[in-house]
Amino acid sequence: MAIIKSSMKQLKTITIALVGALTIISCKNEQGKTNKEQIENNEVIIENQIQEGQKIIFQKNLTLQNITFDLSNTGEGSISQLTIQPKGLEIDNKKITLELEGQVTNAEIKDLNADGFPEILIYTISAGSGSYGDVIGYSVNNGKSISQIYFPEISKNEEACSGYMGHDEFAITETTLARRFPIYNDEDTNNNPTGGTRQIKYKLKDGETSRLFVIDKISEY
């Protein structure tokens, strides 16, 4: 009888120990599952953040006269970031980063002043329905470095800005920069210009401190 009681006592002890062990294992498995889910969720969040931070709006590689420009425009909404990475310059190939209130639409490369070295022109539009255009330009200095080209605001020329409400198109034609946009009459709505089209041609000139674009010709059709 004593032996039976002893055996039952041992069995009870073993059962309690086994239940405890299974409970601990179950808790650890559940904790491990939770930690794994948290890690996976964090990885998804981080991955999404990286993807959102690196969303590419515009990307282009341009080369002329053994000098290359890698362009990248990233971001979302009304603010974006433009990165310009020159390669092949003798002294300064430093990356340039600019913040834009809008985004890049296109870019071209050309030796506009026939000095044996290229200029790069980057065309942008503002955010919103107006889509006001602008040009970001850089000129290579004797193959050693680059300097930004001054592009004048259209509002500074009365003939050029009369009836202007954005929707610009830019293109290099031979050694000039052409800008075209619809002309708006006083009662026109933003989506219905009735005044025809204006074209402005700019020439690249040497200024006192930097190169700049100056209006060469204005025509309408």
pLDDT of 54? 63
The pLDDT assigned to 43 comes to 40
pLDDT, residue 16, reads 47
Q: Which residues of the chain have pLDDT under 50?
A: 1-9, 11-12, 14-51
Residues sharing a CB contact under 8 Å with residue 130, sequence separation 6 or more, in sequence order:
165, 166, 167, 190
Q: Which pLDDT belongs to residue 92?
A: 97
Q: What is the pLDDT of residue 219?
A: 98
Task: Please state the domain extents for the chain.
Answer: 1-53, 104-220
Q: pTM, whole model, 2 decimals?
A: 0.76
Token couple for 21: 């062990």
Instruction: Give, in order, the Cα–Cα distances in Å from 23 to each of 14, 26, 67, 159, 181.
Output: 14, 5, 69, 85, 75
